[in-house]
Structure 1
Amino acid sequence: MKYKLFFAGILFWALSCGEKPIPEVTMQDDVRILASDSLMGRETGTEGADLAAAYLEGRMQDLKLKPFDADGDYLQVFSFRPRKDPHSQVEFGSASDSSLTGKNLLGYIDNGGSRTVILGAHYDHLGLGGDGSLHAGDPAIHNGADDNASGVAVLLQLAKRIQEWPEARDNYLIMLFSGEEMGLLGSNYFAKNPTLDLEAVPYMINLDMVGRLNGEKTLSISGTGTTPIWPQLLNSLNPGFNLVLRESGVGPSDHTSFYLQDIPVLHFFTGQHEDYHKPSDDAERLNYEGMEQIATYLFELVRAMEDQKEVAFRKTKNESEETPRFTVAMGVMPDYLFSGKGMRIDGVTEGRPAAAAGLQKGDVVVQLGDSTIVDMMSYMRALSAFKAGDSTTVVVAREGDTISTGIRF
């Protein structure tokens, strides 16, 4: 009961403006609610995550999405035992004193079609920090506005547009995943315990961190090799984004769970930033105009996909298996959306080798030791050649100049 009262109160706040209600819940409203301190970072298995689930269940009702079962329930509840060993598998099972509970939310748009498209985003985050946090101070609320209140807000906007589209023929399953930050748990559980025949799913689209579209309008889309039609369609519908297309269907987000079921996937992403997995990932830092543009692009993609009678699945290379192993780090955040030659630095951590060497945000690493750096993979290969205590030279391009400096790992 307290969760329903919470939803009623917070939805009233979202819909109220002075004496008159605003016409609809906006993406800003959804993000501000999900990324509020009152939800304590939405860590799976906590009261904050349950409050978020209650709010999102109300939003699904508001959008007139159908619940996934005959009892009117939007929740797919699962229990699991947290990993003790980071390399071990999570054990799903019945609830016990040593287990946690996750809650996926599933809402249908039933158009009587023979196919059901899955559109998803995770709503959980890191709570007060812990494993996965890049915050160096005392425990603090990690609100996760970009990660991933942004994806949830865009998904709900997309669901609204599809719901209001009278010509739609496919069915759509709107999925909000729990447990992503703990290892794609919610999507993995659904893929192994589906509420529909996965053979009837032509493709899946995942939205994870889509709230920081930059000035260059760079939008990363992964999974473009999982069906032959993706690249041509994405480029032909592009309204002006600087697209970075990556073929692999495997990555650190929920689309991976569906790719492993031989379903074509896409993952939309606007890039990491200095607030990633830190308490500073707050609602006021998001680019809401950019999120609207992404929602529009997605809707046009969904519309075009209804005309694709066959969506053939294709396996891709697992880029994570090809990633070199390394034991040292420069202490920088790479710009994963950079499409030029080299590895552009998106952030420098104080007290680490790069900071000591004088490297700055925006520098493009073009050489490390004897290795020429042309992209992220060549950067990681070069880094894998060093061990703690080694010294070398790093060359960066900075505002038209080439700067060479020493660095010690």
Structure 2
Amino acid sequence: MKKIALLGFFITLLGCNQEYKYENKIKEDVIYLADDKLEGRETGSKGEQLAAAYIVERFKELGLQPKGTDGFYQSFSFKPKTDPHSEVAYTINPEDSTVTGTNVLAFIDNQAENTIIIGAHYDHLGYGSHGSLHRGEKEIHNGADDNASGVAVMLDLAAKLKQTNTSNNYLFMAFSGEEMGLLGSNYFTKNATMDLSKANYMINMDMVGRLKQDSTLAVYGVGTSPLWKQTLSSTNPGFKLIENESGVGPSDHTSFYLHDIPVLHFFTGQHDDYHRPGDDSEKLNYEGMNAISSYIFDVITDLDKSEKLAFTKTKNESEETPRFKVGLGVVPDYLYDGEGMRVDGVSEDKPAQKAGLQKGDVVIKLGDSTIVDMMSYMRALSVFTAGDSTQVVVKRNGETVEAVVQF
């Protein structure tokens, strides 16, 4: 009888394992999250609530456990900042002037000692608030790349990790309030629904939907643990990696780094549609997103049997960034690793456009300063004030072009 009962148990277990089948829904997830009916998913809006409910249903579909304070949800209320340099004021008693954001959290419990946190923000700019670069009539900012792409990859990783790499637990998080200042991730780390001392490491995806033909992929935080560089190299299927050591940057991984947790942040670069209404689902590179998801899965797999990752502090590059009062009106190409600062986009009616600068130009001199990278570009820019004019020198299609820019 014992043998028959044991055999029945294994048959039942096998049947349970066969019931789960991985399915790639990256494109389907992006199309829903970046649809006009969500009206740009602005923090606290009805559209963001619709997005949160969709993510919850996807977590349920994958069989994940809720890990919020109210099921899958963790809500937080705050007063929007009037001073951009001040701390946000979270509030327990919402008033008319407060906004309520909602993080969405799910958990895979492998009965392990430590937990890997995988996250992506799902809020965006609604009809164009909080940093929109659009000039003109109000339009929906669908945020397909920023950041339906990251959420879709996060959900894909949840599907991939459902029954594999069981040496850690997994906490999957869709953050609210990122566009307003990393508010959702900041709130979570101060009001965590798990013991953060048991966090092994955190992986963040923000704008991973526009992988270029040369397969350039930026990875931030590689200096936050001694194992990162070796692991990223050994598992790399052919990406041209642009590595940045700092654990501090303009996305949610920063909140976890500041709690001494090793982080990685993946990013495929800015583009002309960044923070504009044109960031739509049909413009994304879905094959590239699939490849990035597989790469991150391989990184996790490579570290599955490792001890808890050691944390190392990195130089806070944001503290060294010069403050400047004027701008050229360009979108820098943050994935460019050559000499100079390459222009990835030119804003209308700004100094760069008026001076004749074009997308693809590489700025090599500004005023008296030679430009070798982003930091030297920002230092050069910091000496100018409104009304100043200076010479700018760029490389364009192998030729040197000079122009006068008026700030």
Determine if the TM-score, normalized by the shorter chain, exceeds 0.5.
yes
8 A contact 2:68–2:104 mirrored in 1: no
Alpha-carbon spacing, 1:261–1:280, altered in 2? closer, same or farther (3 Å):
same
Q: Which amino acid aligns with 2:285?
A: N
> 2:81, 2:325 → 1: CA distance?
23
Q: Which residue of 2 aligns with 1:164?
A: 163
Q: Which residue of 1 aligns with 2:203?
A: 205
> 2:23, 2:345 → 1: CA distance?
37
Q: Deviations over 1:288-312 (max 9, x none)?
A: 0000000000000011121221411
Q: Displaced runs of 4+ in structure 1, greater than 6 A? A: none
Give the TM-score of the pair, scaled to structure 1: 0.92
> 1:391, 1:298 → 2: CA distance?
46
> 2:255, 2:173 → 1: CA distance?
13
Q: Which residue of 2 aligns with 1:20?
A: none
> 2:340, 2:59 → 1: CA distance?
44
- Structure 1 residue 228: deviation in Å? 1.1
> 1:25, 1:50 → 2: CA distance?
24
Give the TM-score of the pair, scaled to structure 2: 0.92
8 A contact 2:115–2:170 mirrored in 1: yes
> 1:98, 1:310 → 2: CA distance?
43
Quick check: 227-236 or 83-92, which moved more?
A: 83-92
Quick check: 150-159 or 299-308, which moved more?
A: 299-308
Q: Which residue of 1 aligns with 2:75?
A: 77
Q: Which residue of 2 aligns with 1:177?
A: 175
Q: Deviations over 1:286-343 (max 9, x none)?
A: 0000000000000000111212214111111111111111111111111010000100
Q: Which amino acid aligns with 1:263?
A: I
> 2:398, 2:81 → 1: CA distance?
48
Match of 1:280, SS state, is coil
- Structure 1 residue 393: deviation in Å? 1.5
> 2:391, 2:95 → 1: CA distance?
54
**Aligned match of 2:239 in 220, 238, 241?**
241
> 1:125, 1:54 → 2: CA distance?
16
Match of 2:179, SS state, is helix
Residue correspondence of structure 1 range 10-409 to structure 2 within 5 A: 24=23, 26-68=25-67, 73-94=71-92, 95-165=94-164, 167-409=165-407
Give me the identity figure in percent. 61
- Structure 1 residue 96: deviation in Å? 2.8
8 A contact 2:24–2:156 mirrored in 1: no
- Structure 1 residue 395: deviation in Å? 1.2
Q: Which amino acid aligns with 2:392?
A: V
> 1:209, 1:70 → 2: CA distance?
28
> 1:330, 1:69 → 2: CA distance?
43
8 A contact 2:68–2:105 mirrored in 1: no
Q: Deviations over 1:203-235 (max 9, x none)?
A: 100100000001111100111111111111111
Match of 2:146, SS state, is helix
Paired residues in the alignment total: 386
Q: Which runs of 5+ in 2 are unaligned?
A: 1-21
Match of 2:104, SS state, is strand
Match of 2:161, SS state, is helix
Q: Which amino acid aligns with 1:175?
A: M
Q: Which amino acid aligns with 2:395?
A: A
RMSD between superposed Cα atoms in Å: 1.5
- Structure 1 residue 164: deviation in Å? 3.5
> 2:115, 2:233 → 1: CA distance?
24
- Structure 1 residue 24: deviation in Å? 4.5
Quick check: 90-99 or 103-112, which moved more?
A: 90-99
Q: Which amino acid aligns with 1:36?
A: D
Q: Which amino acid aligns with 1:131?
A: H
- Structure 1 residue 350: deviation in Å? 2.2
